Structure 1
Amino acid sequence: KKENVTEELNFFGKISADQNNYIDIFPLVGGNVVSVNVSLGDYVHKGQVLATIRSTEVAGIQKDLSDARTDVLLAEKNYRVAEDMYNGKLSTDKDMMEAKGQLTKAKEQLRRSEAVSQIYNVRTGNIYSVVSPIDGYIVQKNINKDMQLRSDRSDNIFDVANTKDVWAILNVNETDIDKISMGMPAIVSTLSYPDKKFQGSIDKIFKIIDPQTNSMQARVVLDNKDGLLIPDSKATIKVLHRSNTEALAVPSDAVIFDQNKYFVLIYKSQNDIKIREILPIKQNEGTTYMATGLQEGEKVVVNNKLLIYRALNN
C-alpha cells in the first residue's frame, strides 16, 4: 500500500533521570551524624528516615517549643482567673481584654514553634531526622556515620531520583536539526537490553548549540515502570521522520537481496507465487519503500520467503 516515506534518523545519547523527580537533599542543621540508614542504590519511600543528626540547633528549637507550650498553659490560667474576677465584678473590661490578648499571642507563638519543629523533623534527644521527600532511588550519598556537618554546609548529603519515568537525551548534529520536530516518534535502545525497544516521542527541543560537540539536544520521555532504563547509561535513539513523499511500502521482512538485486514474492494463491524484482528508494528496519516493482493491493510473502524463493529458482 502507499504510505508517506519514513526516514529513520539515528542519534546517540544517554538515559537521564527525570529532573522533575530528582531531589537534592540538604541538612537544615549542622551537627554530628548519629546514623545513616540507607546505602547508594537503595529504594526509599516518601517520609522514610535516611539519616539522623544530633544538633545543638535542634536543642534550641525544642526549647522554644517547650517554652511556647508553657506560655500557653500560663496564659490559659491567667485568662480563667481574669474571667472569674470579671464575672465577680472585681476587674474591668480592659483587664479581660488584656488576658485574652495574651492567650491569643501565646497560641500563635506555639503554632509557629510547632511548624518549625515539623519542618526540622525534630525528635527527642536533640535529634534531627533527614527524611526522603519522594519515593525513589538513592543515586548520590555524601554522608557517613560520625561525620561532623557544619551548619553552613553548601553540599547536599543525598540525591533521590524517582525513575518511573526517565529521559533519553539525544545529541542532534547541526545538519539534522531541520529534520527534528516536537512530537516525532522515537525508539530507544540501550547496551544493557539491545533487543528491547522503548517507545516514546520528542517532547522538548533545546534550542542551544553545545560549542564542544556542535550539536543540539532533544528529549524523549520514556515509561520506566520496569526499571530497566538506568540513568547515565548510553542509548541509541531512532527518530522517525515522515516526509510528504508517498511510495508503495512492504514489510522489510518480505524483501530478498540476491545477486545485488532486490526481490519480493508476489502471492496470488498457494499455486501461484511469482518472483518480482523491485527498486527500493528507502529501506528501514521495518518497512521498505519502492519506486517500481509492485502495484497497490498486491500481496507479498513474508514467512519462509527464502525457502520458497530457492524452490522457485530451482
Structure 2
Amino acid sequence: MSKKKAIQLVWIMGVIFLASCTGGTGKQDNSNKVETMEDAFLRSVKTCKVAYSNEEEELTLNGKVEYDPDKVISYVSLVNGIAERTFCSLGDKVQKGQTLLTIRSAELNSLRAEMIASESEIKVAQREWQTAQTMHADNMLSEKELLEAQAKLKQAQAAYDKIHNDISMYGVGKNNGSFSIPAPASGYIVDKNISSGSTVSPDSGPLFTIADLSKVWITANVYATNLQFVKEGMEVEITTLSYPDELFHGQINSLSQVFDPEEKVLKARIVMDNKSLKLKPEMSVVVKLKSEKQTRCTSIPSDALIFDKDHYFVIVETSAGKFTVREVLLKGHNGQTTYVASGLLEGENVVINNQLLIYTGLKEK
C-alpha cells in the first residue's frame, strides 16, 4: 500500500472511531459534516447474535434420476405375427387406450374365429336351457336333465369368457385380419423396439415401454464412511447440471440394507414429484443433506470472519457504537455457518458487514 493511501485509510478509521468513542450519546452538531458521515456509517453496521446449537455437517452425495418402477409398463407380444403399422415414436406422450400399433396374426384370427363360434354355442345353450325349464315345469323333463342343460350353458359361457379375455388384450379385431394394440396406461414412450413390417413373438422382448414421469426416483450413493450421518426421513436439497440455479427439495424415503456389489455403496431413495418434467431419467444429480452431530458449540455467519496472518478474527460490538477485535478458534464450516470452538459467548453481537474497515481502524488505533 502506498504511503498516501495508508494516510487516507488511517484518517477514515480515525473518523470512525471518533464516533465509536462517543457511542452516539452526545448531541450532534448538524453543521459538522464529519459527525454526520460517521453517524450514517454506524447506522449501516449490521450485527448478528452468536448462537449456541448442535454442530451440523453438510454431506454431498452423487446420484441419478430413475423411473418409478411402479409407473413403468413394458408391452410384450403374447402371439406370433407381423407389425402392420406403428402409431407412436420414442418420446411421444400417449393416453391409455390409444392405438400404438396394429398386428396381423394367424393366432389372433383363430382366436377371433373361436370367439364367433363360441357366441353361437352360447345362443344354442340358452335356447336349450329355456326349453328345459319349460318342459321341467310341465313335468316332461327330469331334474337331472334340467341340471345338465344348465351346466351346458355355463360351460359355453365360460369358454366364451376365456376367449374374449384373451382377445381383449389386443383391441378390436378388424375385418381385414389385423388387430390394434392399445396403450395399457398413460405416459411417455421411453423405449421402442418395433417398426412397421417387423415380426413379433413372445420371445422378441418388449415392443415398447411406457413410463409415467410425474413421479421419479432419485437414487443417491452412500459410502460406508457417511452411513452414520444418513437416516430415513432426512431433508435433502438436489441440484442438476441442467438447472444449476434451481433447488429441488425432497427427503430420504428409504435406505437399502445391502451394499451394491459393484459400486460398494448403499442406495438412498428419494421419491420426487416431477409434474414439471424437469427431472429426466438417467440425469446425474448432486444430493446435499445436513447431519447434526451430538456436540454443541457457538456458531456465527461465515460473513463475520476476518482472516489475517493465519488467524481468524471477528468484530464484537461491546455496546452501542463501540467495538473490539476478538480472535476466534474455528471448529468447522457448513455453508454460510461457521462453528467456533473458542473466543465467543452465546448472545454476543458480531459485525457481519464493513467489519474489515472497523478491524483495520482498530488495529491502527
Q: Same fold (TM over 0.5)?
A: yes
CA contact (8 A) 2:304 2:350 kept: no
Name the amino acid aligned to 1:162: D
Give the secondary-structure state (helix, strand or coil) at the position aligned to 1:230.
Answer: coil
State the TM-score, normalizing by the size of structure 1. 0.84
Distance 1:65-1:263 versus aligned 2 partners, 3 A rule: farther
Give the secondary-structure state (helix, strand or coil) at the position aligned to 1:16.
Answer: strand
Distance 1:287-1:32 versus aligned 2 partners, 3 A rule: same
Alignment map for 1:123-142 (pairs within 5 Å): 123-125=173-175, 126-142=177-193
Distance 2:247 2:218 in 1: 13
Structure 2 residue 265 is the aligned partner of structure 1 residue 255? no
Distance 2:266 2:291 in 1: 17
Give the equivalent residue in structure 2 for 1:60.
110
Structure 2 residue 252 is the aligned partner of structure 1 residue 197? no
Percent of paired sites with the same residue: 31
Structure 2 residue 281 is the aligned partner of structure 1 residue 281? no
Structure 2 residue 154 is the aligned partner of structure 1 residue 104? yes
Distance 1:207 1:91 in 2: 70
Give the equivalent residue in structure 2 for 1:239.
289
Alignment partner of 2:357 out of 296, 310, 313 = 310
Give the equivalent residue in structure 1 for 2:273.
223
Distance 2:272 2:238 in 1: 9
CA drift of 1:20 comes to: 2.3
Give the secondary-structure state (helix, strand or coil) at the position aligned to 2:228.
Answer: helix
Alignment partner of 2:74 out of 8, 11, 24 = 24
Give the secondary-structure state (helix, strand or coil) at the position aligned to 1:209.
Answer: coil
Greater Rg over alpha carbons, structure: 2
Aligned pair count? 309
CA contact (8 A) 2:236 2:289 kept: yes
Distance 1:2 1:10 in 2: 25
Give the equivalent residue in structure 2 for 1:47.
97
Which stretch shows the higher mean deviation, 238-247 or 46-55?
A: 46-55
Which stretch shows the higher mean deviation, 270-279 or 194-203?
A: 270-279
Structural RMSD (CA):
2.8
Give the equivalent residue in structure 1 for 2:23.
none
Give the secondary-structure state (helix, strand or coil) at the position aligned to 1:108.
Answer: helix
Distance 2:318 2:86 in 1: 72
Give the secondary-structure state (helix, strand or coil) at the position aligned to 1:196.
Answer: coil
Give the secondary-structure state (helix, strand or coil) at the position aligned to 1:225.
Answer: coil
Distance 1:43-1:286 versus aligned 2 partners, 3 A rule: farther
CA contact (8 A) 1:268 1:299 kept: yes
Give the equivalent residue in structure 1 for 2:234.
184
Alignment map for 1:108-187 (pairs within 5 Å): 108-125=158-175, 126-149=177-200, 151-187=201-237
Name the amino acid aligned to 1:225: K
CA contact (8 A) 1:58 1:122 kept: no
Deviation string, structure 1 residues 131-160 (Cα, Å, up to 9, x no partner): 3333322211111112111x2324111122
Name the amino acid aligned to 1:310: L
Distance 1:274 1:130 in 2: 79
Structure 2: 5+ residue runs without aligned partners? 1-50
State the TM-score, normalizing by the size of structure 2. 0.74
Deviation string, structure 1 residues 200-247 (Cα, Å, up to 9, x no partner): 222222333345443333222222222111111111122322111112
Give the secondary-structure state (helix, strand or coil) at the position aligned to 1:101.
Answer: helix
CA drift of 1:75 comes to: 1.3
CA drift of 1:63 comes to: 1.6
Give the secondary-structure state (helix, strand or coil) at the position aligned to 1:208.
Answer: coil
CA contact (8 A) 1:27 1:130 kept: no
Structure 1: 5+ residue runs without aligned partners? none
Alignment partner of 1:297 out of 324, 343, 347 = 347
CA drift of 1:53 comes to: 1.4
Distance 1:256 1:48 in 2: 63
Alignment map for 1:264-279 (pairs within 5 Å): 271=321, 277-279=327-329
Which stretch shows the higher mean deviation, 187-196 or 268-277?
A: 268-277
Distance 1:265-1:122 versus aligned 2 partners, 3 A rule: farther
Alignment partner of 2:86 out of 16, 36, 39 = 36
